[in-house]
Amino acid sequence: MEILQLQDVSYTYTGKTNVIEHVSLSFEQGKIYAIVGKSGAGKTTLLSMMSLLTKPSSGKILYDAKDITDMDPYHYRSQYVGVIFQNYNLLMHLTALENVVLSMEIAGKKENRKMIARELLEKVGLDEEEMNRRILKLSGGQQQRVAIARCLSYEPKVILADEPTGNLDMETQAEILEIFKSLAKEGHCIIMVTHSKEVAACADEIYELKRMKKSTKKI
């Protein structure tokens, strides 16, 4: 079933021509999507709208058939979508466990925070010693695992990832993609922006964003 839908969405940065023009896309639960396109094609802009960091200039974004543009962006991002970045965006001086627990506190989750955080970190492949290590002492791949665990802690149905493996070697990239595959099997909808053919190849659907024509096609 469709969890996220973009209906005729356009976006213009102030004083610029349209970056995104009349884009309509839909995303289902249980699937992995790759959004590909050249640098400057508007991929990050598209994710920013889907995560409500910014609102479309026109058109609608529906989550579970409800228009998200009327929703409080903080509430939306702490309940509905998880966001993962190329540079992980973790708090470097806190431990992996503290990062996940803190996010749960901010999201207003009260019950068994530490226990759930441990389970999630274990699920993405960190052992007890690594969980208690500060982020700055973890490898890039381990940091991205923590970022995934952090976003799972809100229990979002949709996970948005901007070049999630852009800073990782091929082997670590493959491990992160395996995590995404198992999350999709559990019913999550994973939407990743990527430059990489290998990453796009693991998606169920690929949408290409074109800079010049500013249209999308399904390939």
Ligand X SMILES: Nc1ncnc2c1ncn2[C@@H]1O[C@H](COP(=O)(O)OP(=O)(O)O)[C@@H](O)[C@H]1O
In eight-state DSSP terms, residue 85 is -
Q: How far apart are CA 60 and CA 168, in angstroms?
A: 34
89 versus 139: smaller Cβ distance to ligand X: 89
Residue choice 4, 6, 44, 90 for contact with Mg ion (CB under 5 A): 44
Q: How far is the CB of 127 from ligand X (least distance, A)?
A: 35
| DSSP-assigned beta bridge partners for residue 2 | 28
Strand order in the sheet with 216-218: 81-84, 158-162, 189-193, 32-36, 205-209, 216-218
| Choices 33-41, 98-106, 112-120, 200-208 (CB under 6 A): range interacting with ligand X | 33-41
CB of 43 to Mg ion, least distance (A): 5
Q: Where are the alpha helices (DSSP H) in the chain?
A: 43-50, 73-79, 96-106, 113-123, 128-131, 140-152, 170-185, 197-201
Q: Which amino acid is at 16?
A: K
Is there binding between residue 19 and ligand X (CB under 6 A)? yes
Residue 218's CB: how many other CB atoms inside 10 A?
A: 8
Residue 42 CB, nearest approach to Mg ion (Å): 8
Instruction: Decide which of Mg ion, ligand X, none touches 13; Cβ closer than 5 to 8 Å per partner kind.
Output: ligand X
List binders of ligand X among 41-80 (CB under 6 A).
41-45
Among 4, 33, 37, 103, the residue binding ligand X under the rule CB under 6 A is 37
Q: Applying CB under 6 A, which part among 38-46, 58-66, 85-93, 123-131 lies near ligand X?
A: 38-46
Instruction: State which residue, 43 or 150, has the beta carbon closest to Mg ion.
Output: 43
CA 7 to chain centre: 20
* Token digits of residue 42: 């508007």
Q: Which residues bind ligand X (CB under 6 A)?
A: 13, 16, 19, 37, 39-45
Q: Which residues bind Mg ion (CB under 5 A)?
A: 43-44
